[in-house]
Amino acid sequence: VNRREFLATAAATAFHSAWAAEPDQVWLGPDYWANPLQDWRLRGGRLECHVSGGDRNVFLLTRELSPRPGAFTMRVKVGRLGEIAGDGFAGFRIGIRGPFDDYRDSAVYGVGLNCGVTTDGRLFIGSVTQDAPRIAASEFELTLTGAGARLTLSAEGREVSREVAAIQGGVALVCHAGPLGDSPDPSLNVMTMSGIQRPDRERRGDVRFWFRDWTLDGPRVDAHPQRAWGPILFAQHSRSRGVMKMTAQMAPAAIRGPARLRVAGKTYEAGVDPLSRTATFRVTGWDDSRDHRYRIEFAGGSFEGTIRRDPKQKPRIVVGAVSCTNDLGFPHAEVPRSIAHFQPDLVAYTGDQIYERTASYGIERAPLERAALDYLRKWYLFGWTFRDLMRDTPSITIVDDHDVYHGNVWGAGGRKAEGAGQPGQDSGGYTQPAEWVNMVQRTQTSHLPDPVDPAPVDQGITVYFTEMLVGGVSFAILEDRKWKSAPKMTIPQARIVNGWAKNPDYVAARDGDVAGAQLLGERQMRFLDDWAKPRPEVWQRCAVSQTIFVNLATLPPPADTDAVTPKLPVQPVGGYAEGEMLVADHDSNGWPQSPRNAAVRALWKARALHIAGDQHLGSTIRYGVDDWNDCGWAVCVPAVSNLFPRRWYPPMTGKNPPKGGGRNTGEFVDGFGNKVTVHAVFNPQAVAHEPKIVHQRAPGFGIVEFDRAARTTTVTIWPRWEDPAKPGAKPVAGWPIVIGSDGTRRS
């Protein structure tokens, strides 16, 4: 490389923030990921950290420091935002890397070396010393240079210098309130049983700084322009019965639109919702006989993909099924890659697309705008994982409890919960304001075909249950939480806490089936009745809901709570936990029994497979009502990322187990007295795949194939650790399961 080429390359990788030209807004621009989103903003051409707390930072997505020898220089202008009180610092973090070796993971969970100026004016690299050089200015330019292993930080003519080997990875701006410690601090970023811990992210102190003119250049700098993200972050679409709907998810930019969709030679416009930051396009008269490239444009950005033709001519319709995307293992890159291998015609995300503690920094439930941004930063992580799958594949996305910041949700027709937290949940309804719940539903479900019965429920909470037709397979998209009765209110003598009866004299199978208790509710039952009617364009039906209509779980006695679940020892491969008992968790849709039976019968009338998630326990079962096997089949897909590993170790043996089925397969009666035939279960096992903390909780996904000519349905559960593209790749033991159209198992 001659000198001229070298200089050209260096110029191409140089970075300069361009905030001066940007409007005042929450979103910082496509080059950045802010931790947390709602604590940063652009104001007057500079970046402001306007909430004081531990480890507020802005990660630069599009550049990183390479391990090559050579120099780099990073600069930024820094100033105090109001009065400063308490320990803390403002400055840089460099060499940022996350536990899963992906820039997205580095952006959210990475650890690096801090360099900056403390609130009492001391310059530091890594660790702060008492005799460090000090500056007094409230506004200064901070310069960090690296040459080989030598780092030098300077401001206001003072400097500190230090040898640090092997700096490599991302860079960020940091505004930190709290103890300074040393960095990198090995206590940070530890994966534990309850997820990834970042202990020092509490709100505290009065340490707020602004930043301007951030630059990074030099031969050590690598540019990754393809990592820029936004203002259009991702998009979901559906295509059914001549209507195409698409929802584009935007970053919280100031501009409200219109957003434009260019497709099939036409341009459509849609405004951006001020709370959900979504733009939804609805195109009628859709030509589904061919593929259409599309392009969304908004606020100077664009997003492209393909809406594929309706697979009417395909002999097999393939569905990917996903649930429970916690952030342990984020960005879960192998999951969308493995699902894409099967070239699905549709992907169903059956709930818990986010968890409350995703991406740390706690949970903000109010005020509304901050609570919306708090949800969006978690939802954005989901989109970051699945955006390439969603780009070209229709999706069904439905909302479960964690998506609305609940551990459990008994929607009770949309009522306002009495109080907050778990007591509020137990009272039935939603603890979050209706506007916020509708915002969540808009982000996840507004691209679905129009609701078949759109009247909102209590508080004006919207509904989305509907039908979607894909290649002659009709999907009933259900909301099995929204109308479900709250057991605490419906069976008061059971003394229900968080779904579990505290009264030892209450027997769920005997006493739980009380008059008036709802599961799907009248309106969805009417819909299912109509849906089951023969239609010439439909050759197969499939229902998608949050969870299965049975309680498939065991626990050690007395099993009057499931709080112990994350602490139970994981069995070795092939092991069996002895002495456990069947449970009666009223959050499961084994309760309430009579409407459960009616729902199971309605699905069987339609000869529909039921796809669901929520349980974190992959399973394939056949429902029974009056007798075993007198109704249809269900598949619960495993969690993508599992912090609550439920299990199935019944103490009795099942009758008539399937050929080759394990001890926990066959015909059982669940804790609510429901008949169920278990064909395969994906229990957590002590597998050797690293990181064990991810893989020993039975994570994975489901693939369902409907074969038109053979009239069979094949259900397969894949473990997260297996790459299905590799020769000899094996699904979880017990799968695939092939089911005939008459409900008998074929193999």
Nearest residue (CB) to Fe ion, 324 versus 519: 324
Closest distance between Fe ion and the C-beta of residue 618, in Å? 13
Three-state SS at 739: strand
Asked if 470 contacts 311 with a C-beta cutoff of 8 angstroms, the reply is yes
To Fe ion, the closest distance from the beta carbon of 327 in angstroms equals: 12
CB of 634 to Fe ion, least distance (A): 17
Stretch that binds Fe ion, among 8-16, 323-331, 693-701, 709-717 (CB under 5 A): 323-331
Nearer to Fe ion, 324 or 469 (CB): 324
Q: Which of 229, 117, 111 is nearest to 172 (CA)?
A: 111
Q: What is the DSSP letter of 658?
A: P
Report the C-alpha gap between 234 and 232 in whole angstroms.
6
Separation between Cα atoms, residue 143 and residue 149, nearest integer Å: 16
Q: Is 358 helix (H, G, I), strand (E, B) or coil?
A: coil
288 near Fe ion, judged by CB under 5 A: no
Site for Fe ion in 353-372 (CB under 5 A): none
The interface region with Fe ion, picked from 8-16, 333-341, 351-359, 628-636 by CB under 5 A, is: 351-359
DSSP-assigned letter for residue 107: H
Q: Does residue 557 contact residue 566 with C-beta atoms inside 8 Å? A: no
Q: Total binding residues for Fe ion by CB under 5 A?
A: 2
Q: Of 152-160, 266-274, 319-327, 537-545, which segment contacts Fe ion by CB under 5 A?
A: 319-327
- 39 belongs to the binding site for Fe ion (CB under 5 A): no
* Amino acid (1-letter code) at residue 254: A
- Fill in the amino acid letter for 141: E
* Candidate ranges 42-50, 252-260, 262-270, 324-332; the one touching Fe ion (CB under 5 A): 324-332
Least distance between Fe ion and beta carbon 589 (Å) = 14
Return the exposure string of 134-160: e unless at least 16 CB atoms fall within 10 Å of the residue's CB, then b. ebeeeebebbbbbeeeebbbbbbebeb
3-state secondary structure of 375: helix
Phi, psi angles (nearest 5°) of residue 405: 60, 35
**CB nearer to Fe ion: pick between 221 and 399:** 399
Q: Which of 297, 310, 352, 374 binds Fe ion (CB under 5 A)?
A: 352
Burial class, 461, CB count within 10 angstroms (exposed 0-12 / middle 13-18 / buried 19+): buried
* Cα 146 to the center of its chain, rounded Å: 38
Residue 678 in the binding site for Fe ion (CB under 5 A): no
Is the Cα torsion angle 401, 405, 406, 412 positive or negative in sign?
negative
Shortest spacing between CB 541 and Fe ion, in angstroms: 26
Our finding on whether 548 is near Fe ion (CB under 5 A) is no
Q: How far is the CB of 265 from Fe ion (least distance, A)?
A: 42
Q: How far is the CB of 615 from Fe ion (least distance, A)?
A: 8
The whole-angstrom separation of Cα 476 and Cα 734 is 27
The residue among 324 and 508 lying less far from Fe ion, judged by its C-beta, is: 324
User: Which one-letter amino acid corresponds to residue 496?
Assistant: I
Phi-psi region of 332 (alpha: psi -120 to 50; beta: other; left: phi over 0): left
DSSP SS3 for 440: helix
Nearer to Fe ion, 239 or 586 (CB): 586
Measured from the CB atom, the residue of 408 and 474 that comes closer to Fe ion is 408
Pairwise CA distance, residues 626 & 632, whole Å:
13
In the complex, what is the shortest distance from the CB of residue 304 to Fe ion, in angstroms, rounded to a whole number?
A: 32
What is the distance of C-alpha 9 from the center of its chain? 38
Query: Least distance from C-beta 691 to Fe ion, angstroms?
Result: 20
Tell me whether residue 540 or residue 551 sits nearer to Fe ion (CB atom). 551
For residue 637, state whether it binds Fe ion (rule: CB under 5 A): no
Nearer to Fe ion, 230 or 411 (CB): 411
327 part of the interface to Fe ion, by CB under 5 A: no
Distances (CA, A) of 425 to 224, 430, 433, 488, 594: 45, 7, 13, 10, 23
Note whether 636 binds Fe ion by CB under 5 A. Answer: no
Stretch that binds Fe ion, among 333-341, 347-355, 403-411, 547-555 (CB under 5 A): 347-355
Sequence-distant (6+) residues with CB within 8 A of 446 are 245, 247, 276, 278, 280
Interaction of residue 324 with Fe ion, rule CB under 5 A: yes
**Closer residue to Fe ion, CB minimum distance, 324 or 612:** 324
User: Does 680 contact Fe ion by CB under 5 A?
Assistant: no
742: left (phi over 0), alpha (psi -120 to 50) or beta: alpha
Query: Of 310-318, 320-328, 330-338, 585-593, which segment contacts Fe ion by CB under 5 A?
Result: 320-328
What distance in Å separates the CA atoms of residue 385 and residue 518, rounded to the nearest whole number?
35
Tokens of 471: 């290649």
Q: Which is nearer to Fe ion, 352 or 585 (CB)?
A: 352
Q: Are 35 and 55 in contact (CB under 8 A)?
A: yes
Q: Which stretch binds Fe ion (CB under 5 A): 316-324, 431-439, 488-496, 593-601?
A: 316-324
Q: Which is nearer to Fe ion, 443 or 642 (CB)?
A: 642
Q: Which stretch binds Fe ion (CB under 5 A): 301-309, 317-325, 439-447, 503-511?
A: 317-325
Query: Whole-angstrom Cα distance, residue 450 to residue 462?
Result: 12
| 647: helix, strand or coil | coil
Q: How far is the CB of 54 from Fe ion (least distance, A)?
A: 28
* Residues 69, 367: Cα–Cα separation, whole Å: 49
Query: What mask, x for binding Fe ion by CB under 5 A, covers residues 183 to 222?
Result: ----------------------------------------
Coil, strand or helix: which one is 728? coil
State the nearest-atom distance from the C-beta of 638 to Fe ion, in Å. 10
Name which of 437 and 532 has its Cβ closer to Fe ion: 437
Question: Over the Cα atoms of the chain, what is R_g?
Answer: 27
CB-wise, 354 or 600, nearer to Fe ion?
Answer: 354
Per-residue x/- track, 218-257, Fe ion (CB under 5 A): ----------------------------------------
Q: Which is nearer to Fe ion, 34 or 324 (CB)?
A: 324
Strand partners, 222: 64
Whether the CB-CB separation of 330 and 195 falls below 8 Å is answered with: no
Tell me the closest approach of the beta carbon of residue 647 to Fe ion, in angstroms: 15
Candidates 243-251, 322-330, 381-389, 507-515: pick the segment binding Fe ion (CB under 5 A). 322-330
Tokens of 699: 């994570």
Rounded least distance, CB 356 to Fe ion, Å: 11
Q: Which is nearer to Fe ion, 59 or 500 (CB)?
A: 500
Stretch that binds Fe ion, among 82-90, 297-305, 318-326, 682-690 (CB under 5 A): 318-326
Which of 212, 646 has the CB closer to Fe ion? Answer: 646
For Fe ion, give the closer residue by CB, 358 or 360: 358
Residue type, 140: F
Minimum CB–partner distance for residue 642 and Fe ion (Å): 8
Q: How far is the CB of 442 from Fe ion (least distance, A)?
A: 21
Q: Please, what is the minimum distance in Å from the beta carbon of residue 241 to Fe ion?
A: 31
Q: Measured from the CB atom, is 324 or 409 closer to Fe ion?
A: 324
CB of 684 to Fe ion, least distance (A): 14
Contacts of 536 (CB under 8 A, 6+ apart): none
**Whole-number minimum distance, CB 614 to Fe ion, in Å?**
5
Please classify residue 369 by burial: count the beta carbons closer than 10 Å to its beta carbon, then call 0-12 exposed, 13-18 middle and 19+ buried: middle
Dist. CA 736–CA 743, nearest whole Å: 15
The contact set with Fe ion (CB under 5 A) reads 324, 352
